[in-house]
A and B are shown apart, each in its own frame.
Chain A
Amino acid sequence: MNAVSAPEKLHDCRDAFVAVLERLGAENTKVVAVCNDSVGSSKLGGFKSKWPERLVNVGIAEQNMVGVGAGLANGGLLPFVCGASCFLTGRSLEQIKADIAYSNANVKLVGISSGMAYGELGPTHHSIEDFAWMRVLPNLPVIAPCDSIETAAAVEWAAGYEGPVFLRLSRVGVPDLLQPGHAFEPGKANRLRDGDAVTLIANGTLTHRAMKAAGLLAARGIEARVLNMATVRPIDAESIVAAARETGAILTAEEHSVYGGLGSAVAEVVVAEAPVPMKILGVPGIFAPTGSAEFLLDEFGMSPEAMAKAAEDLLARKGSRA
């Protein structure tokens, strides 16, 4: 490792999303974007300038936005319904349940600025409940890509998949972790790092932090496995069980409440199939104090150093069971 490394190049995954959306839009006139006055925050300006008639802006009305999305799909179009994840999922939860998931409408829901991306705007604008709200709904794959490469691949996959999808995107910059040309496979975790001492499972903005934590652990002689688990539903039970059996301890991390999200989904599998010591990192069931997303992740014990420490604590628990 270099003593002085170059500054990490960070990507706003919204750019990858709209790049694919605009390419799909050029190939297929049925692709439409639906938004709630969020042309700027969803980065739909390019799409709008190319195909103004195919940008359906319903105004600040999320319930109508999701219902309109279902109706557009019924009329044979391929709608990408985009809005800040907090409003898209929270304000129109019942529309997502009845009009999209239960009706099995071919609508792609794109939650922008998820997690605590809105930082200082506070808990009204944080979307740290969306995994829980979305993953309980049948028929609805829930996906949080970890970088711009996975975002592009997931959008591409979602467009070709016949049925509803929830894509959870951030606006917080992340480094690219996956290889260019990566093909997204729903419900399959990517093993980004091998190891047998402990497994770190993360997605979205936390995957690169998990990789950094694993680097810190390696420097201390602890080889951690890192799984990027973009799909929260359907969860990759096979990879989780293998991780439990082969590494004996699992640490999860997510930009979401510790209740009902990725960690809960992993724990449901671990408890039923292969019980091992686990720790779930996330927002600890409180409304966050003022701060940026990066500050709050550190505050809630998800800096790479704190994650490495949490992994070491798990190792101690694992040892005490032996």
Chain B
Amino acid sequence: MQPNDLDRIARQIRLRDLQAVYEAGAGHIGGEMSAIDILTALYFQVLRIWPDQPKHPERDRFVLSKGHVALAFYVTLAKRGFFPEEEISTFLKPHSRLNGHPNCNKVPGVETNTGPLGHGLPVAVGMAKAAKLTGAGYHTYVLTGDGEMQEGSNWEAIASAAQFGLDNLTLIIDHNRFQQGAALSDTNNLAPFASKLAAFGWDVTEIDGNAMAEIVPALQHRAARPHCIVAHTNKGQGISFMQDRVEWHHKVPNAEQYKIAVSELSEVL
């Protein structure tokens, strides 16, 4: 698949995500828009997966540690064939399996339950370590937010991944520079991430996390050490009035804003 094709799929996912947020009246749209290019590259190009066999032992593992962008994950999984796309319309409705945070016992393709931050990376370390112990050939990917890196459990996991020599683990930090309440730099500024991860013994790549031509090769990159991709992204990517605006962490567009956003995302389809 060419970067242009992936871009087209990412736009479709953005549009469906926007529509579902608007209809449900809730969601975390800013961080969803920043992460959708990465999710698209993973699910439509990079991951070795069998949507009809979501528990296939040799599947590559993906952990969405920033579980609050579950909707973008659901839209991606549905589009890839893990469950019917029509089910997206049940997002957040009573008894829907599409909860505000992903549930691995209900939604095919979800590996572990996330939501509280700082959980995905330790679990991903365990997955990668298991492959080392069993000789399985799968690769483990985990996507965290940049604000999420403030959780200390991540740094426990980063240290252990290096100690265990997990060259089958890729951490992607969605570095959109904003957390729920303010900019990362005004809160607890862990940036720059690259030097910190390198100091822990990781191989580090910095990319434009909204550019397919950079995302795909970075995800496919292998090294002798665990690999961290610092993905420089934009919160609200693709929708002009949301971009880099902290309030769009979980704001819901009104009718007029929705119309503008749909039109912007449709232009390039």
Which residues of B sit under 8 angstroms from A71, Cβ to Cβ? 112, 122-130, 140
Which residues B104-143 have CB closer than 8 A to chain A? 104-105, 111-116, 118-119, 121-131, 133-134, 136, 140
A61–B152 Cα distance when bound, in Å, is 10
| Chain B residue at smallest Cβ distance from A95 | B119
| Chain B residue at smallest Cβ distance from A53 | B133
Shortest beta-carbon distance, A66 to chain B, in Å?
7
Indicate whether B160 reaches chain A with its CB closer than 8 angstroms. yes
Shortest beta-carbon distance, B139 to chain A, in Å?
12
Would B159 and A69 count as touching, CB distance under 8 A? no
Which residues of B sit under 8 angstroms from A95, Cβ to Cβ? 119, 122, 153
Shortest beta-carbon distance, A111 to chain B, in Å?
19
| Chain B residue at smallest Cβ distance from A79 | B126
Indicate whether B264 reaches chain A with its CB closer than 8 angstroms. no
Would B126 and A102 count as touching, CB distance under 8 A? no
Which residues A94-121 have CB closer than 8 A to chain B? 94-95, 98-99, 102-105
Indicate whether A40 reaches chain B with its CB closer than 8 angstroms. no
A79–B126 Cα distance when bound, in Å, is 10
A77–B128 Cα distance when bound, in Å, is 12
Shortest beta-carbon distance, B136 to chain A, in Å?
7
- Among B57, B123, B159, point to the contact of A67 (Cβ < 8 A): B123
Which residues of A sit under 8 angstroms from B11, Cβ to Cβ? none
Would B112 and A105 count as touching, CB distance under 8 A? yes
| Chain A residue at smallest Cβ distance from B103 | A102
Indicate whether A172 reaches chain B with its CB closer than 8 angstroms. no
Would A54 and B133 count as touching, CB distance under 8 A? yes
Indicate whether B157 reaches chain A with its CB closer than 8 angstroms. yes
Would A94 and B116 count as touching, CB distance under 8 A? yes
Shortest beta-carbon distance, A49 to chain B, in Å?
17
Which residues B147-178 have CB closer than 8 A to chain A? 152-153, 156-157, 159-160, 163
A71–B128 Cα distance when bound, in Å, is 8
- Among A58, A74, A76, point to the contact of B123 (Cβ < 8 A): A74
Indicate whether A63 reaches chain B with its CB closer than 8 angstroms. yes
Which residues of B sit under 8 angstroms from A72, Cβ to Cβ? 126-127, 129-130, 133
A58–B121 Cα distance when bound, in Å, is 14
Which residues of A sit under 8 angstroms from B118, Cβ to Cβ? 63
A73–B111 Cα distance when bound, in Å, is 11
* Residue total for A at the interface (Cβ-Cβ under 8 A): 31
Which residues of B sit under 8 angstroms from A103, Cβ to Cβ? 104-105, 112-113
- Among A32, A54, A64, A76, point to the contact of B157 (Cβ < 8 A): A64
Shortest beta-carbon distance, A207 to chain B, in Å?
35
Would A98 and B113 count as touching, CB distance under 8 A? yes
A102–B104 Cα distance when bound, in Å, is 9
Shortest beta-carbon distance, B201 to chain A, in Å?
14
Indicate whether A149 reaches chain B with its CB closer than 8 angstroms. no
Would A68 and B122 count as touching, CB distance under 8 A? yes
| Chain B residue at smallest Cβ distance from A139 | B105
A53–B105 Cα distance when bound, in Å, is 30
Q: A58-B160, A61-B156, A71-B125 are in contact. Are A99 and B119 (CB under 8 A)?
A: yes
Would A68 and B134 count as touching, CB distance under 8 A? no
- Among B103, B130, B157, point to the contact of A77 (Cβ < 8 A): B130
A87–B204 Cα distance when bound, in Å, is 33
Indicate whether B68 reaches chain A with its CB closer than 8 angstroms. no
Would B153 and A63 count as touching, CB distance under 8 A? yes
A104–B123 Cα distance when bound, in Å, is 13
Indicate whether B61 reaches chain A with its CB closer than 8 angstroms. yes
| Chain B residue at smallest Cβ distance from A68 | B126
Shortest beta-carbon distance, B71 to chain A, in Å?
19
Which residues of A sit under 8 angstroms from B163, Cβ to Cβ? 59
A262–B133 Cα distance when bound, in Å, is 38
- Among A61, A76, A79, A98, point to the contact of B134 (Cβ < 8 A): A76
Which residues of B sit under 8 angstroms from A104, Cβ to Cβ? 104-105
Indicate whether A160 reaches chain B with its CB closer than 8 angstroms. no
A293–B69 Cα distance when bound, in Å, is 48
A105–B156 Cα distance when bound, in Å, is 21
Would B122 and A63 count as touching, CB distance under 8 A? yes
Indicate whether A70 reaches chain B with its CB closer than 8 angstroms. yes
Interface string of B51-73 (1 = CB under 8 A from A): 00000010001000000000000
Would A74 and B133 count as touching, CB distance under 8 A? no
Would A64 and B61 count as touching, CB distance under 8 A? no
Most chain B Cβ neighbours within 10 Å, of A30, A32, A58, A69? A58
Residues of A participating in the B interface, judged by any CB pair closer than 8 Å = 30, 32, 53-54, 56, 58-59, 61, 63-64, 66-77, 79, 94-95, 98-99, 102-105
25 contacts between A and B (CB under 8 A): A32-B133, A54-B133, A61-B153, A61-B156, A61-B160, A63-B118, A63-B156, A67-B125, A67-B153, A68-B125, A68-B126, A70-B112, A71-B122, A71-B123, A71-B127, A71-B130, A71-B140, A73-B126, A73-B130, A75-B131, A75-B134, A76-B136, A77-B134, A104-B105, A105-B112
| Given A76-B57, A95-B119; 5 other pairs, CB 8 A cutoff | A67-B122, A70-B112, A74-B61, A75-B126, A79-B126
